[in-house]
Amino acid sequence: MINLPPRTYCRIQDPIIRKKDNTPELTPFNQVKNKFGEFEIRTFDAYPDPFPLYPGEKLIGKIEKLLIVAPNQSLRLKAIRDFSDGKKKF
């Protein structure tokens, strides 16, 4: 079980595919489906309760604190993959 304290996050490799009601999507053999080759960021805000890793999921690194940007400072981000929000492709 992974327990995230407030203001922390973790990276999960090969996360499971979830339905709209947040339940895992299953194969005809009742195995969870994974998004192989992807990773997911899980934060305390989305996962306040302890959660297990499903078969095929892996914790990358360790649980880390969120980066807080000080007043009058900035954070420069760089996209490393294509993104589409359904309206415009970035």
pLDDT band of residue 88 (cuts 50, 70, 90) is low
pLDDT band of residue 86 (cuts 50, 70, 90) is confident
- pLDDT at 30 (0 to 100): 94
Q: Which of 31-35, 54-58, 80-84 has the lowest mean pLDDT?
A: 80-84
Task: Go through 60-77 and write b for each residue having 16 or more CB atoms within 10 A of its CB, e for each that does not.
Answer: eeeeeeeeeeeeeeeeee
pLDDT tens digit string along 32-50? 999 999 999 999 999 999 9
Distance CA 5, CA 62 (A): 12
Identify the structural domains of the chain with CATH numbers, from first to last: 1-70 (2.30.30.560)
Residue 62 tokens read as 């360790």
pLDDT band of residue 90 (cuts 50, 70, 90) is low
Decide which of 79 and 50 is more confident: 50
